[in-house]
Amino acid sequence: MAIFSGTLLTIEATAIPELTEYEINRAKLWRDADRNMNGDVRATLVGIFPKIQLNINVTTQDRLQAICALLDVSYFAVTYYDPFVGGTRTANFYAGDYAPKMLSKERGLWDKFSVNLIPVSKQ
């Protein structure tokens, strides 16, 4: 069994080493989903959309600003480790809502926050 030793995730070629949690949700998107009178599902699979759920532990104001600048653009390229293929993939994503929490105003310290990276296209 090989262990992945590379960079887990980059946004626009910028590594995010502050990750404390990393989860890939292989979301299936269905079209025309319905059940018939026998209870059987009839639907067409549009594709798998790998939503990446992150917890980022930034502590300084400067680093928080740098990560927010990456997340706040409309769409961005993400290179991420995909355990399904045992390697990295690159695709376009956008960021869901996120809410950094201040720990200390006087010292400019921040707590970890969570954010979802949502794919633009199916895998």
pLDDT tens, position by position, 12-57 = 999 999 999 999 999 999 998 888 888 888 889 999 999 999 999 9
Distance (Å, whole) CA 21 – CA 114: 9
Q: What is the pLDDT of residues 49-104, one digit of tens each?
A: 999 999 999 888 899 999 999 999 999 999 999 988 889 999 999 999 999 999 88
What average pLDDT does the chain have? Answer: 92
Q: Does domain 9-119 have CATH number 1.10.760?
A: no
* pTM, to two decimals: 0.88
For residue 57, give the nearest of 95, 19, 22, 23 by alpha carbon. 19
CA gap 49, 47 in Å, rounded: 6
Percentage of the chain lying above the pLDDT 70 cut: 96
**8-state DSSP, 84:** T
| Confidence check: pLDDT of 1 > 70 | no
Q: What is the pLDDT of residue 107?
A: 86
